[in-house]
Amino acid sequence: MATDPAGIKALVFDVFGTVVDWRGSLLRELTSLGRARELDCDWEAFADDWRAGYRPAMNRVLGGEAPWQTIDVVHRRILDGLLAKYAITTLSEAETDHLNRVWHRLDPWPDAVTGLWRLKQRYIIGTLSNGNMALLVDLAKHAALPWDVVFSAELAKSYKPHPSVYRLPVTLLAAEPSEVMLVAAHGSDLAAAASCGLRTAYVPRPLEHGGARESRAESGSFDFRADDFNHLADLLGA
Amino acid sequence: MATDPAGIKALVFDVFGTVVDWRGSLLRELTSLGRARELDCDWEAFADDWRAGYRPAMNRVLGGEAPWQTIDVVHRRILDGLLAKYAITTLSEAETDHLNRVWHRLDPWPDAVTGLWRLKQRYIIGTLSNGNMALLVDLAKHAALPWDVVFSAELAKSYKPHPSVYRLPVTLLAAEPSEVMLVAAHGSDLAAAASCGLRTAYVPRPLEHGGARESRAESGSFDFRADDFNHLADLLGA
């Protein structure tokens, strides 16, 4: 890697897919709920549908067709549609609300916590996620993610990839864009960050969409490519 | 104490004076700088003047006479005035900037870190300070303060005691006001929080203004009164 890490002050992380395994976590809760409530459902399809509803909902907001809402509200609207689609009619409001908050209880990838602790010794580490603040704080408690600071697109009342979101850590840390690096498993997120002047670190998460549909590695140009967060710590001398 | 801690979800802390000993920290850096640069100055008066300039500056903003600025900018303007007042003319721009950032390097009261770690096991813990985000994040790194989340008045582009600042943790944690408790050493801060529906915990810091001018205990009505953060953890069952 040609880039010198000197000059980087803060690492901000995409969360869903990059830090936590949303699909594996959803499947564990959904199958457990299904057993407990004797629900028959294709939970893999259910989980994938839930996530698939997210980007179109963001795009409606970014396109001005819908007002900004927290991801909790977005997730709940998608969930209500899926419960109808999959004919799951026996959950109480409290159970449905609890299920919707599964996104506050996602488990980290195996390297995430140890890697973050190493990176934290040398850099400011924070989130930069479309998840709302309450979700991200709960997630950090659940998964023991040692963030120094939590940045959510909620603070810009927008979503990635709107530039206002990438400017948040720059402005709020009183940093230059080049002093902030986004760490993400998704090329589009990294490309949007780069166009705002941030540095970029790509960490592939081939199992984000499950073993049967291994994600292809991104082919874009990034400042760093690391196999996982511990490898990133190696590359950054942390 | 009559209040049941059940139902409290998050503790947010005033920082200057409540978590960190700004005066002792300033004095240590100022006297050390004085020795190194052979400056003759009444550093206690200098430190007290620096802090005393802060509230009038806030009030000008809250009164609409000046635009909102980060505390870093406010501190620097006061510092420039004091360097003139005390006829300190030999500091370079880099040294002056470094000195201004002493507010990013304040040391915690002896009980703060252990108390926060205990409270963090049971509650979301965060800042609620007029310090800007960059300052609060640097301070947390310097003093090893294990915040789950950093809330600054900067996020409301205002300062305490404006209600918009106390509403920040309520809104951003998707909480009820009564689920959030402000912990502070200053009665006026706690009274403003209470008027926004937050709960209040008073922790006196009698040495905030130095041993020669011990702060009188506040006589207001608070949900909790604790001698220090470890005592607060005892009271809250953390």
Q: With a CB-CB cutoff of 8 Å, which residues 61-90 of chain A face chain B?
A: 70, 72
* CATH number for the domain formed by residue range(s) A22-104: 1.10.150.240
* Cα of A144 to nearest chain B Cα, Å: 10
Angle at B174 between CA B171 and CA B177, to 5 degrees: 65
Please give the Cα distance from A22 to B126 (Å, whole number). Answer: 26
| pLDDT per residue as tens digits for the range B146-189 | 999 999 999 999 999 999 999 999 999 999 999 999 999 999 99
Q: pLDDT by residue (tens digit) across B75-121?
A: 999 999 999 999 999 999 999 999 999 999 999 999 999 999 999 99
Burial of B40 (0-12, 13-18, 19+ CB in 10 A): exposed
For A203-233, b where at least 16 C-beta lie within 10 A, e where not — what string? bbbebbbeeeeeeeebeeebbbbbebbbebb
pLDDT at A1: 47
Q: Which of B124, B134, B172 sits opposite A172 (nearest CB)?
A: B134
Nearest to B137 among A70, A124, A141 (CB): A124
CA distance B23 to B45: 11
What local confidence, expressed as pLDDT, does residue B15 receive? 98
B137/A148 CB distance under 8 A: yes
Q: How far apart are CA A66 and CA A68, in angstroms?
A: 7
| Residue A37, burial from CB neighbour count under 10 angstroms (0-12, 13-18, 19+) | exposed
Q: How far is CA B99 from the centre of its chain?
A: 18
- B181 and B122 in contact (C-beta within 8 Å)? no
Average pLDDT over residues B23-38: 96
The pLDDT of residue A219 is 86
ipTM over 0.90: yes
Residue B10 near residue B39 (C-beta atoms within 8 A): no
Asked whether A202 and A225 are in contact (CB, 8 A), the reply is: yes
Query: What is the structure's pLDDT at B3?
Result: 58
Mean residue pLDDT of chain B comes to 95
* Chain B residues with beta carbon closer than 8 angstroms to that of A175: 134
Q: How far is B137 from chain A (nearest CA, A)?
A: 7
* Crossing angle (nearest 10°) for helices A187-195 and A163-172: 60
Query: How many whole angstroms separate alpha carbon A191 and alpha carbon A220?
Result: 8
Residue B6, token pair as written in the block: 């059940």
Interface contact B132, partner A, CB < 8 A = yes
Q: Given CB atoms, is B150 within the 8 Å cutoff of chain A?
A: yes
Residue A150 at interface with chain B, using a CB cutoff of 8 Å: yes
CA distance B54 to B48: 10
Query: Where in chain B are all domains bearing CATH 1.10.150.240?
Result: 23-104
Q: pLDDT averaged over chain A?
A: 95
Looking at the partner chain, which of A137, A155, A173 has a beta carbon nearest the beta carbon of B148?
Answer: A137
> Which of A139, A149, A151, A157 has the highest number of chain B CBs within 10 A, making it the mutation to test binding with B?
A149
Q: What is the pLDDT of residue A217?
A: 85
With bands split at pLDDT 50, 70 and 90, how would you rate the model's confidence at A75?
A: very high
Residue A232 has pLDDT above 50, yes or no: yes
What pTM was computed for the model?
Answer: 0.96
Give the confidence band of B215 by pLDDT, cuts at 50, 70, 90: confident
Using CA atoms, how far residue A166 sits from A171, A198, B148, B153, in Å, is 9, 8, 21, 20
Distances (CA, A) of A4 to A179, A205, A235, A237: 11, 24, 10, 10
Residue B212 has pLDDT above 90, yes or no: no
CATH 3.40.50.1000 in chain B: give the residue spans.
10-21+108-235
The residue in chain B having the minimum alpha-carbon distance to the alpha carbon of residue A156 is B155
Contact B1/A at CB under 8 A: no
Calculated CA dihedral for residues B116, B25, A170, B156, nearest 10 degrees: 70
For residues B142 and B140, give the distance between their C-alpha atoms in angstroms, rounded to a whole number.
5
- Chain A residues inside the 8 Å CB shell of B133: 149, 172-174
Q: Searching chain A, which residue's CA lies closest to the CA of residue B131?
A: A172
Which residues of chain B lie closer than 8 angstroms to A180, CB-CB?
A: none
Contact indicator for A137, B125 with CB cutoff of 8 Å: no
Q: How many Å apart are CA A184 and CA B101, to the nearest integer?
A: 32
Q: Kindly state the tokens that stand for B164.
A: 């918009």
Q: Is B157 left (phi over 0), alpha (psi -120 to 50) or beta?
A: left
Sheet strand arrangement including A224-225: A149-152, A124-129, A10-13, A180-184, A199-202, A224-225
**Vertex B229 angle, CA B228 and B234, to 5°:** 100
CATH topology (fold) of A10-21+107-235: Rossmann fold (3.40.50)
In a 10 Å sphere around its CB, with 0-12 CB exposed, 13-18 middle and 19+ buried, how is residue A130 labelled?
buried
- Asked: is B10-21+108-235 a CATH 3.40.50.1000 domain? The reply is yes
User: Is domain B23-104 given the CATH code 1.10.238.10 in the classification?
Assistant: no
Q: Which two tokens stand for residue A178?
A: 């080049």
Nearest to B141 among A140, A148, A174 (CB): A148
Domain with CATH 3.40.50.1000 in chain A: 10-21+107-235
pLDDT the model gives residue B1:
47
**Mean pLDDT, rounded, for A62-87:** 96
Nearest Cβ partner for A173 among B134, B155, B175? B134
How does DSSP assign A201-224, residue by residue?
EE---TTTT-GGGPPPPP-S--SE
Is the confidence at residue A2, as pLDDT, over 60? no
Cα separation of A132 and A151, whole Å?
9
From the list B124, B137, B147, which residue is nearest A173 (CB)? B137
Of B170, B174, B226, nearest in space to B5 by CA:
B226
| Chain B residues inside the 8 Å CB shell of A127 | none
Residue A37 — φ and ψ, nearest 5°? -105, 10
Residue A125 CA to residue A147 CA, distance in Å, equals 6
For A2, what's the count of Cα atoms within 13 Å in the CB-facing half-sphere?
2
Within chain A, all domains assigned CATH 1.10.150.240 are found at: 22-104
Taking a C-beta distance cutoff of 8 angstroms, is the pair A15, A139 a contact?
A: yes
pLDDT score for A3: 58
